[in-house]
Structure 1
Amino acid sequence: MTAATTARRPLSAAAKRGIWIGVVALVLLGIVLGTKVVPSDDPLAQGAVDFDPATFGVEHFPEVQAAVVDKAVDAETLAAAIAADPAAAEEEYAVQSSGGPVYSVTFTGVVGEGQAGMYPVTVDGVPDDLLIRVQTGPAINGTELRDATGEIAFGQFKNQIDFQNAAAALNDELKTAVLADVDTANLTGKTIEVTGAFTLVNPAAWLVTPVELSVQ
């Protein structure tokens, strides 16, 4: 057999056209199978929705409130645990945050003279050198409510600004949902029951952001 007889015969124009038609068909099939049909009223079809702090606060404050109440440790027990072994207390009771360990606490005590909406509270059973204060507004500061559950994370937000605004939104909703029914200007001398959260920055001073506050 000669080289001339064994050489591959070139494809005809009709064969080439058939191959290209087959390739195009496979590509189109892949597109169809990989396409998701989204209804016009689906959020995915409407583009990214901007973060709305007011909506976030209203929607998420109740679940934050419930989680803090569920996790809250009485102040006497928590103060003793932190004094005895800070690392063990943190492991058992705290939720980690970028600002430090966040604790949920509950206590009853007598309110002292306040300043700028922050009141010291004398709580039986805690060390005399432990200053416990509760903030009541009008300005509520800090990220305790955002961080207390461990369920609200930076990765859920577009950027740091939205993450910070989430904390502010929860603080604002606290004023509406809880503190609006409390005469926060006249708490001195009153006995109050508080459940809330604080970030442990100074073991000798707790600044508690309440999720529940009642005057007895």
Structure 2
Amino acid sequence: MTRHRRLTPFRIGGAVALAALLVAMTLSTRFVTPDELASIGPEKFDPAQTAEDLFAQANETIPDAATPLPELLTGLQKDVAKTADDLEASRPNDTTYLFPVRGTATVVATQDQAVEITVEGVPETTPLTFASGPATNGTVLRDAVGFKFGDASNQTTYQQVGDELKALVREQIDQGTGGKVAPGSKLAFTGIVSVTDTGMPQPAAKPVQIQPLTLEVAP
């Protein structure tokens, strides 16, 4: 014999409540398009825009923080760590210091990846160059303004920020120099000097390369 369940008032009330809940959930649910869903998700990391922001920050802060190159080299040839502490140098890792510098240079010779220069107050025993062309390094500028690996979405985008900064620096230098740097010309500069801390003073004969931020023809 088939046994039929009776719909008690309790069961009827429960079914009605469940139905009302489902209706309420449906009415309160907003269905979004894929585009709307993407717009409310985590913001996508944009290396190009990040580089633009860092570049603007660098142009605003580095000239004010820059030390005259002769003064910096005098300090480094006495005590690297103390000079870094006194000048509040950036330190992207345990052995590297980054120093903002400024000055006016006279071009001696040009190469594909370097511009040989002299700077008044720096002895000729210290070879000086600007990085140029492929040797221009946007990662130095990236690190100097405090952008860290954890600020990017991954290793690839972290490197892309440096690449984008390199392009921006090269464009700015071309604008400041008219795209031509000839021996004998004078250039006002700001930039970054990267120094490895070996625990010893930097020898006077050690070559110094400046990663330029700005280069402009000086009178």
Give TM-score scaled by structure 2 length. Answer: 0.72
Supply the distance in 2 between the matched residues of 1:41 and 1:60 (Cα, whole angstroms). 29
Q: 2:165 aligns with which of 170, 174, 187?
A: 170
Cross-structure match for 1:199: 194
Cross-structure match for 1:104: 100
Supply the distance in 1 between the matched residues of 2:37 and 2:85 (Cα, whole angstroms). 42
Q: For 1:127, what is the secondary structure of its paired residue?
A: coil
Q: For 1:174, what is the secondary structure of its paired residue?
A: helix
- Is the CA contact (8 Å cut-off) linking 2:68 and 2:102 kept in structure 1? yes
Q: 2:81 aligns with which of 87, 93, 114?
A: 87
Residue 71 (structure 2) pairs with residue 71 (structure 1): no
State the Cα distance separating 1:43 from its structure 2 match.
7.2
State the Cα distance separating 1:177 from its structure 2 match.
2.9
Backbone CA RMSD of aligned residues: 3.3
Cross-structure match for 1:58: 52
Give runs of aligned pairs for residues 119-138 of structure 1, distance below 5 A: 119-137=115-133
Aligned length: 189
1:205–1:142 distance in 2 versus 1, CA, 3 Å: farther
Paired-residue identity, %: 22
Q: For 1:102, what is the secondary structure of its paired residue?
A: strand
Supply the distance in 2 between the matched residues of 1:178 and 1:76 (Cα, whole angstroms). 22
1:179–1:41 distance in 2 versus 1, CA, 3 Å: farther
Structure 1: stretches of 5+ with no match in the other structure:
1-13, 22-39
- Is the CA contact (8 Å cut-off) linking 2:54 and 2:142 kept in structure 1? no
State the Cα distance separating 1:139 from its structure 2 match.
5.1
Supply the distance in 1 between the matched residues of 2:181 and 2:52 (Cα, whole angstroms). 27
- Is the CA contact (8 Å cut-off) linking 1:97 and 1:147 kept in structure 2? yes
Q: For residue 215 of structure 2, what is the amino acid of its counterpart?
A: L
Supply the distance in 1 between the matched residues of 2:36 and 2:63 (Cα, whole angstroms). 38
Q: For 2:91, what is the secondary structure of its paired residue?
A: coil
Cross-structure match for 2:210: 208
Supply the distance in 1 between the matched residues of 2:36 and 2:117 (Cα, whole angstroms). 52
1:149–1:47 distance in 2 versus 1, CA, 3 Å: closer
Cross-structure match for 1:116: 112
1:100–1:89 distance in 2 versus 1, CA, 3 Å: same
State the Cα distance separating 1:48 from its structure 2 match.
4.2
Structure 2: stretches of 5+ with no match in the other structure:
1-9, 18-34
1:183–1:138 distance in 2 versus 1, CA, 3 Å: farther
